Amino acid sequence: MATIELHHLSFVYGNTPALSDVTLTIADGELHTLLGPSGCGKTTTLRLVAGFLTPSSGDIRIDGKDATALPPERRAMGVVFQNYALFPSMNVLQNVAYGLRMQGIKKRQREKIAQETLELVGLSHLANRNIDELSGGQQQRVAIARALAPSPSVLLLDEPMANLDEELRVSLRAEIRRIQQSVGVTTLFITHDQQEALSLSDTVSIMNEGRVVQTGTPHEIYEHPANDFVAEFTGTMNCIPDSTATDSLLHARPETLRLTSAATPRSLCKVEVSALRYRGFATEYVVSRLAPTPDPTSATAALGSATITTPLESENSPITVLALSNPSYEQFSLGDQVFVELIQ
Ligand code: ADP
């Protein structure tokens, strides 16, 4: 296990700046995710940590020691690439044992370790299979086993589920987390999928345009976004004019709002249902404002930590509300005129 520190790291590809002044710490044993849109610098950061690239400026420390110029083979890191990069001419066991062979470990010992690592990822029964006889999800687990077999101090996962379908990705998220926790290896995970990042990680760093814009626990990132970019990238954030304060907007996630057929003391505004999407466990309503809020008492109290000073959108933006499919939520139809309140 290891602690990784990145200090004021920058990187330029030719004339293209890819990373600017990235400073972050990946704590010993944690699963730290870099989350951000395509092109924001996630893979470049991972390549710098792995030693495949050398920073234009800044430095990298592993367990407090300067590792900026250390070649990849001396960093003891296991890497899982997006396309897995498994060796098609070797079977599953041989793939997993590959790194151990490179370390000069004798055949019997490396087969024992490879078999144990396959057990860890739940694939010991497929040890003799060819790679092309495996499903995408199984190949992904072989790639993880191959990276883990040499007992790396750090595991680097570069969008390892990008090529899998949605259902498989959800089940493999839990599997990756289980494996990572049972080994306790410090892990850097890269994704552009906010659900994946929030459900897997101890810590998430949100990146945008080559910079880290916020680092925190999934809860901190989602509940207390540092700015509009983080708020929007991690989910929908509504922006509702606050009648109790001039030029102030109330920011609220869809699941913190409720639609009611009659006005209540907590109503924020009157709206019309302009679209709805039934999702089984809930219905997502998109509503448009009709009139200013009838009630002045609730909005200030409801602001709390959801307040962000900069407006996200115009006052007339549609509002998204999530109504769970249970009797405590009223359900509505297109064109209904209803009221929005904050759930407290
Ligand atoms: P992400 O992983 O978040 O999609 P990358 O780290 O791959 O982002 O890329 C960051 C920036 O660097 C982007 O603008 C991308 O176009 C650029 N870039 C990445 N790889 C190269 C390369 N080999 N040559 C030139 N520019 C590159």
SS (H, E, C) 311-343: CCCCCCCCEEEEEECCCCCCCCCCCCEEEEEEC
Give the separation between CA 131 and CA 36, rounded to whole angstroms.
Answer: 31
Q: Can you give the pLDDT at residue 83?
A: 83
Q: Can you give the pLDDT at residue 300?
A: 42
Nearest CA to ligand 1 atom 16: 39
pLDDT digit string, tens, across residues 121-139: 999 999 999 999 999 889 9
Nearest CA to ligand 1 atom 21: 13
How much is the CA Rg of the chain, to the nearest whole Å? 24
Cα–Cα separations (whole angstroms), residue 12 to 5, 9, 28, 51, 198: 20, 11, 28, 15, 29
DSSP letter for each residue of 192-251 = S-HHHHHHH-SEEEEEETTEEEEEE-HHHHHHS-SSHHHHHHTS--EEEE-TTSTT-EEE
Give the separation between CA 285 and CA 261, rounded to whole angstroms.
Answer: 14
Nearest CA to ligand 1 atom 6: 41
Q: Can you give the pLDDT at residue 302?
A: 41
Q: What is the end-to-end Cα distance of the chain in Å, rounded? A: 43
Amino acid at the residue 241: P
pLDDT digit string, tens, across residues 317-338: 899 999 999 999 999 999 999 9
Nearest CA to ligand 1 atom 23: 13
101, two tokens: 């062979």
Give the separation between CA 242 and CA 84, rounded to whole angstroms.
Answer: 50
Q: Which atom of ligand 1 is nearest to the CA of 41?
A: 6
9, two tokens: 């790291």
Number of CB atoms found within 10 A of residue 330's CB: 13
Nearest CA to ligand 1 atom 25: 13
The DSSP 8-state label assigned to residue 181 in this structure reads H
Distance between Cα 162 and ligand 1 center (Å): 17
Give the separation between CA 294 and CA 291, rounded to whole angstroms.
Answer: 8
Q: Which residue spans within 223-312 are E strands per DSSP?
A: 238-241, 249-252, 257-260, 267-278, 282-291
Which of 12, 13, 20, when mutated, tests ligand 1's pocket best, judged by the most ligand atoms within 8 Å of its CB? 13
Q: Can you give the pLDDT at residue 244?
A: 63
Nearest CA to ligand 1 atom 13: 39
Amino acid at the residue 114: A
Bridge-based pairing state of the strands 337-342 and 282-291 = unpaired
Q: Which atom of ligand 1 is nearest to the CA of 14?
A: 25
Cα–Cα separations (whole angstroms), residue 69 to 178, 222, 253: 33, 36, 44
Which of 33, 43, 206, when mutated, tests ligand 1's pocket best, judged by the most ligand atoms within 8 Å of its CB? 43
* Phi, psi for residue 145 in degrees, rounded to 5: -60, -40
Q: How many CA atoms lie within 13 A of 36 on its CB side?
A: 21
Nearest CA to ligand 1 atom 24: 13
pLDDT < 50: residue spans in the chain: 293-296, 298-314
Bridge-based pairing state of the strands 4-13 and 319-324 = unpaired
Could you tell me if 322 and 238 are in contact, meaning their C-beta atoms sit under 8 angstroms apart? Answer: no
Q: Which atom of ligand 1 is nearest to the CA of 207?
A: 3
70-104 burial: b if 16+ Cβ within 10 Å, else e: eeeeebebbbbbbebebeeeebbbbbbbbbbeeee
Give the separation between CA 22 and CA 55, rounded to whole angstroms.
Answer: 11
Q: Which atom of ligand 1 is nearest to the CA of 190?
A: 2
Read off the pTM.
Answer: 0.87
Ligand 1 — pocket residues by CB below 6 A?
A: 13, 16, 18, 36, 38-44
Number of CB atoms found within 10 A of residue 13's CB: 11
